[in-house]
Amino acid sequence: MTKTGPIRHARRALLWLGVIIIALSAVLVSGIATNHATFAPKLALDLEGGTQMILSPKVQGGAAINQDQLDQAVKIIRQRVDGSGVSEAEITTQSGRNVVVSMPGVPDEKTRELIQASANMEFRPVIQAGSWDATPKDQRTKAADLPKPTKKPANGSDTNWIDADLQKRFEAYDCTAELAKSDIESADPDKPTISCDPDQHVKYILGPVAIPGTDIANATSGMQTSQQGFNTGKWVVNLEFNGPGTTKFREVTERLVKMQGSQNQFAIVLDGKVLSAPTTNALIADGKAEISGNFTEESAKALAEKLKYGALPISFEIQSDQQISATLGSDQLRMGLIAGLIGLALVALYSFFQYRLLGFVTIFSLVVAGLLTYLAIVLLGWAQNYRLSLAGIAGIIVSIGLTADSFIVYFERIRDELRDGRSLPSAVETGWKRAKQTIIASKAVNMLAAVVLYIVAVGNVKGFAFTLGLTAIADLIVVFLFTHPTLQLLAKTRFFGEGHRLSGLDPSLLGAEPLYKGAGRLREYRPTPESGKRNAGASKEAARRQTIAERRQAARSGADQSSATKENDNA
């Protein structure tokens, strides 16, 4: 069982790796067969070229736009473009007046409309709420129990807005699918609508618009204070309406404060998505509301910014629309690929010089890691419209060295065990136990750096961070499912197991002395600060393996040496 265990583990791991590669390849082939994918990864703006649109902002009433409004408009456009699946787009301001949108490929008509549309913020009363995680079957209402309006709705919170058709649509409404759509649903402000809160995973039937977002005068975030003026330590969002908004808000809160359950809530909707649906605790007559909840400083500030600028009556007119060539082009792409091949060649040369034919394990491991990374990038291009930029290619090139580090750590652990006198199968298993913790810690650091860089970076730097993190995951898969299992199998072969001089695992070339030299003679024990305990354990192991005759010979040699020492002392 002991001998077959590692072999069985190695074969099972290699089988799982084969299943992963075959499954990914099958998905890619199916995409190609249906004309949804190609063998080549999608390229970003800097490598493929695309479309550049210069947008001129138009403010309702002819008012001038300030820099804060323009910056917030850029954020909204970026969120819309990213939500539509367009990767590696560049969105900037120009001369403090225009917005420049550059994206790979040719945007479709829906994407153009999405970019041009003004932000649509509304305040709608909640009529009904439910979990979006429940299946339609769990929420299905019997035909006899479907709502039947008895009269004309008296106000925005009246349940008479809900008829049988709206109730069925609400029960079948898939929030995940609806929020993933690139286009914004244009709901009639005078009729009820269905919307979802992605943070709370709640879907709502909302009444007609009670207050348009244009009635917001200001929104800020800050610490909550009690009636006595003490700081409560909780973050809140302070909302202030203009004159018409104050009047409308007073009427709404006067009605909602008397209601129970979800009808006590007032939903804030931006571009068809619920930002927040706070409950109404009191009649507010001065138009100054406080939104409290489990806010952090960042989340409170983010909501305040959306309330303050999300309702901007700004739309954009496409001033110019032109095709742009790749900013880097095929020459730079070719040079980047050449640099990657040179790096791979240098790693191969070092591996063969340092590890002899064991270097082939490094090369094949890098090839498998490259195959997994390639399949992931192509499939992400199909599923998520991910596009590979030159910065992303740089991340892949950097990962060659980081991936090779994992193999070097493992190989050196094995060689250390061989120097201590272990057989190769034992050295592989013991070395793996010690190396895998170091490898996991190293990849965790790489992943953390990639995630942080992706979050805080903008533009093409995100592409570098993404491929860096992706290759770190591929590296872990390869080390666990290919490199270690391959060495387990090679350890059972004659060439590697017996330490051929070209295998890279010859104990004599590693400076190792045999623990047991025959005739009861052991390798002399020379303790060092780092290896004393380890060598002592190895000497005990060698002594345990002696034959009876060798032990008697060792005892006689020890007795003779002791007698000689006493005679010298007497002399």
pLDDT tens digits, one per residue of 49-91: 788 888 887 766 566 777 777 777 777 777 767 666 666 678 8
pLDDT of amino acid 204: 93
16 within some domain: yes
528 within some domain: yes
| Domain span at 492 | 4-42+327-497
299, with CB counted inside 10 A (0-12, 13-18, 19+), is middle
pLDDT of amino acid 112: 76
User: Quick one: average pLDDT of 404-410?
Assistant: 89
Q: Is the dihedral of CA 206, 208, 214, 219 positive or negative?
A: negative
Residue 413 near residue 432, CB atoms below 8 Å: yes
Residues 214 and 168 in one domain: yes
Say yes or no to pLDDT of 22 above 80. Answer: yes
Residues 410 and 529 in one domain: no
Distance CA 358, CA 415 (A): 12
Q: Which residue has the higher pLDDT, 484 or 305?
A: 484
Distance CA 224, CA 292 (A): 8
178, with CB counted inside 10 A (0-12, 13-18, 19+), is middle
Residues 479 and 416 in one domain: yes
Instruction: Supply angle C-alpha 408, 392, 337, rounded to 5.
Output: 75
- Give residue for tokens 């953390």: 448
Residues 90 and 171 in one domain: no
pLDDT digits (tens, 9 = 90+) for 97-133: 788 888 887 777 767 776 776 667 889 999 999 887 7
pLDDT of amino acid 522: 47
Residue 418 near residue 510, CB atoms below 8 Å: yes
Q: Is the dihedral of CA 333, 334, 339, 340 positive or negative?
A: positive
506 within some domain: no
pLDDT of amino acid 2: 46
| Segment among 135-139, 253-257, 468-472, 486-490 with least mean pLDDT | 135-139
Residues 409 and 424 in one domain: yes
pLDDT of amino acid 172: 87
pLDDT level of residue 361 (50, 70, 90 thresholds)? very high
Residues 6+ apart with CB under 8 A from 24: 372, 375, 376, 379
pLDDT of amino acid 403: 86
Say yes or no to pLDDT of 547 above 80. Answer: no
Which one of 448, 466, 497 terminates a domain? 497
| Segment among 68-72, 404-408, 431-435 with least mean pLDDT | 68-72
Residues 6+ apart with CB under 8 A from 115: 53, 55, 77, 80, 81, 101, 107, 316
Q: How many CB atoms lie within 10 A of CB 286?
A: 10
Q: CB-side exposure of 147: number of CA atoms within 13 Å?
A: 19
pLDDT of amino acid 548: 56
Residues 344 and 386 in one domain: yes
Which of 8, 22, 21, 23 is CA-nearest to residue 485? Answer: 8
pLDDT of amino acid 531: 47
Distance CA 134, CA 146 (A): 18
Residues 247 and 226 in one domain: yes
Which of 122, 60, 114 is CA-nearest to residue 91? Answer: 114
Distances (CA, A) of 229 to 223, 225, 291, 514: 11, 5, 18, 81
| Segment among 8-17, 160-169, 182-191, 377-386 with least mean pLDDT | 182-191
Residues 6+ apart with CB under 8 A from 464: 391, 392, 394, 395, 453, 457
pLDDT of amino acid 538: 46
Task: Give the number of domains in the chain.
Answer: 4
Q: Which residue has the higher pLDDT, 305 or 353?
A: 353
Q: Which residues of 239-270 are buried (b: 16+ CB within 10 A; e: fewer)?
A: bbbeeebbebbbbbbebbeeeeebbbbbbbbb
Say yes or no to pLDDT of 187 above 90. Answer: no
Q: What is the dihedral of CA 99, 104, 108, 110, to 10 degrees?
A: -50
pLDDT of amino acid 253: 93
Task: Please name the helix (run of DSSP H) or strand (run of DSSP E) that holds residue 88, with its range, or none.
Answer: none
Give the residues across from 268 on adjacent strands. 123, 276
pLDDT > 70: what percent of the chain? Answer: 79
- Say which CATH number the domain at 77 has: 3.30.70.3220
Distance CA 122, CA 198 (A): 17
Residues 225 and 187 in one domain: yes
Residues 231 and 360 in one domain: no
Say yes or no to pLDDT of 533 above 60. Answer: no
Helices (H), 296-358: 297-309, 329-355
Most confident of 413-422, 522-531, 553-562: 413-422
- Give residue for tokens 């286009």: 183
Mean pLDDT of the chain, nearest integer: 81
pLDDT digits (tens, 9 = 90+) for 304-348: 877 776 655 677 778 888 887 776 666 777 787 888 888 888 888
Helices 329-355 & 359-384 angle (0-180, nearest 10) = 150
pLDDT of amino acid 529: 47
pLDDT of amino acid 558: 63
> In terms of C-beta distances under 8 Å and separation of at least 24 residues, what long-range contacts does 243-251 make, across chains too?
243/287, 244/215, 245/211, 245/215, 245/216, 245/217, 245/287, 246/285, 246/286, 246/287, 248/210, 248/211, 248/215, 249/123, 249/211, 249/284, 249/287, 249/289, 250/283, 250/284, 250/285, 250/287
Distances (CA, A) of 5 to 8, 447, 493, 494, 498: 5, 32, 16, 19, 20
Q: Which residue has the higher pLDDT, 324 or 435?
A: 435
DSSP 265: B
Distance CA 537, CA 531 (A): 10
| Segment among 108-122, 250-264, 424-438, 453-467 with least mean pLDDT | 108-122
pLDDT > 90: what percent of the chain? Answer: 27
Q: How many CB atoms lie within 10 A of CB 151?
A: 7
pLDDT of amino acid 18: 96
Residues 359 and 259 in one domain: no
Say yes or no to pLDDT of 143 above 60. Answer: no
570 within some domain: no
Say yes or no to pLDDT of 423 above 90. Answer: no
pLDDT of amino acid 61: 58
pLDDT of amino acid 140: 61
Question: What residue type is 506 in one-letter code?
Answer: D
Residues 356 and 331 in one domain: yes
Residues 416 and 523 in one domain: no
- Give residue for tokens 């408009």: 73
